Amino acid sequence: MTDRLPVALDRAVRSLATSAPAAPADLERVRRRARSRRRGRIGMQATLAMVVVAALAAIFVLVPRTNRDRPVPATSAPATSAPSAKRVILNADLPQSFGDADFEQPSRVFPEQIVELLPDGAVKLLPKPAGLLPPFYATATPDGRLVVLGYASRKPETQRLVVLSRDLTVLGQHDLSARQRPSPGTHLIGASDSEVFLSGADSGTLDLATLQRTGDLPVADGVDIDTNGSSLIVAMGARSDCALAVLDAKTKQRRRVVPLPGHCAEQVFPPRLSPDGTRIAVALGSIHFTPGTYAEKLFIVDVETGATVASYPLAGRLEDGAGSGITWPYRGLGWVTTDTVLIATGTVPAGALDSLASNLNVKRFDLG
């Protein structure tokens, strides 16, 4: 038996004994590469973080201090201010048509100025629109504009509508259809921020911006219309039992009907809606046998229930009675705040409107 290994086995043993172990070297190389990649990723992340921080710092510098220092407002209900009252315009009881009369100098017969009653009870005389002939009637819109109906000519009889801004700039005008005299005339019975309401010969609703007809009156037998902007109150005639119709100002849908405390024939002043739309002020009176006198009551009516919540006795004179010639009685009623009503009556001779302030009887009612 021999001690020598087979040739094939001997070669294998020798190869294993003389070859260098490669695994440790390869593993170290892999570890170095992994460490290098980790350092690269960390460096990139740091660079990106620095870029983000720099961008935020730039934004902070660019934002104005007044904005970035302003605290976040606490959530609260928006502040609400009391609704503003309409301007109170006084109108004389003037004819809306000349009829058979022919005045060579109408300014000597009819007043030539618009009369505004201020919240403190003072009178302010406003010039009429240029070229407008008297007699004319004026009313205010809730946003403070004035709508004036007067005459463009007397032969043929042509009435003209004029819209004025608060500073009396003419915003628009429109001549109604000409008529041969005598004619029934057209009456200005109210205006909103978007519409004009007429009765009589040219009865209907006109767009306030264009002064073009848009339709019929919201209530057929309406004799006076007042609005606070969101609601309309329409004083209806005897055919509707002398009631007040309350309508939505935009849709014209009737919300309710409010009965008057007295007969509509006894109305001394057209009804007026409070600025907040919750109450109606109307003055009713009855003529006594004593010439030139009357007795009145101011009624405050709740819009929702139709109940009279307050009434105040009034007294006054229908006519001055002093002197001779033509005199014109002025009357007006209006809310100057949500809780204050003014009533004014006075009579002036034709051509003496400047004396109205001294002849005007103003009553103030603080309703609380």
State which H helix or E strand residue 59 sits in. Answer: helix 23-62
What is the distance between the alpha carbons of residues 300 and 276, in angstroms, rounded to a whole number? 14
pLDDT score, position 193:
95
- Which residues, at least 6 apart from 145, have a Cβ–Cβ distance to it below 8 Å? 163, 164, 165, 166, 171, 191, 193, 208
pLDDT score, position 139:
95
Number of H helices, E strands in the chain: 4, 22
> For the chain, how big is the Rg over CA atoms in Å?
43
Distances from the Cα of 19 to the Cα of 12, 16, 22, 29, 222, angstroms: 11, 6, 9, 20, 121
Highest mean pLDDT among 69-78, 91-100, 141-150, 258-267: 141-150
What is the distance between the alpha carbons of residues 170 and 167, in angstroms, rounded to a whole number? 9
- Residue recorded with tokens 């606070």: 228
State the pLDDT confidence band at 328, using cuts at 50, 70 and 90: confident
If phi > 0 it is left, if psi is from -120 to 50 it is alpha, else beta; for residue 122 that is: beta
Q: Is the pTM of this model over 0.85?
A: no
Q: Are strands 293-302 and 279-287 parallel, antiparallel or unpaired?
A: antiparallel
Residue-wise pLDDT tens digits, 190-207: 999 999 999 988 999 999
Question: Could you give the percent of the chain with pLDDT greater than 90?
Answer: 33
For residue 352, the tally of other CB atoms under 10 A from its CB is 14
Query: Helix %, strand %, coil % for the chain, to 5?
Result: 20, 40, 40
State the pLDDT confidence band at 93, using cuts at 50, 70 and 90: confident
Residue-wise pLDDT tens digits, 272-326: 999 999 999 988 776 543 445 555 788 899 999 988 899 888 765 444 444 456 7
Residue-wise pLDDT tens digits, 125-170: 999 999 898 888 999 999 999 999 998 987 788 999 999 999 999 9
3-state secondary structure of 227: strand
Question: pLDDT at residue 62 above 80?
Answer: no
Domains of the chain: 88-366 (2.120.10)
